[in-house]
Amino acid sequence: MQPISNGQAPNPTDHTRLPEADPLWSLIRGCWSRDPTDWATSDTILQKVEFNSS
């Protein structure tokens, strides 16, 4: 929890159950961007999560 409160984005090496090649990492990186224009909308997030789970 400490890295998150310090603004540090999740790192694939810390989450081995989600391989770095998984397309969700691009979504995660975008959501953690410091630039708000990179943030995904809730519709985009739902589309990507639903696509990834099918």
Mean pLDDT of the chain: 84
* pTM across the whole model: 0.65
Per the structure, the count of domains in the chain is 1
Angle subtended by helix axes 42-53 and 24-31, to nearest 10: 160
The Cα 30–Cα 42 span in angstroms is 12
Residue 23: inside a domain: yes
Q: In this structure, are residues 37 and 30 in contact, taking their beta carbons and an 8 Å threshold?
A: no
Residue 3 predicted with pLDDT over 70: no
Residue 10: inside a domain: no
Residue 36 predicted with pLDDT over 70: yes
Q: Which residue has the higher pLDDT, 53 or 28?
A: 28
- Structural domain boundaries, residue 49: 15-53
Residue 7: inside a domain: no
Residue 1 predicted with pLDDT over 80: no
Helices (H), the chain: 2-5, 24-31, 42-53
Residue 4: inside a domain: no
User: Residue 37 is encoded by which pair of tokens?
Assistant: 């224009």
**Vertex 2: Cα angle to 52 and 24 (nearest 5):** 10
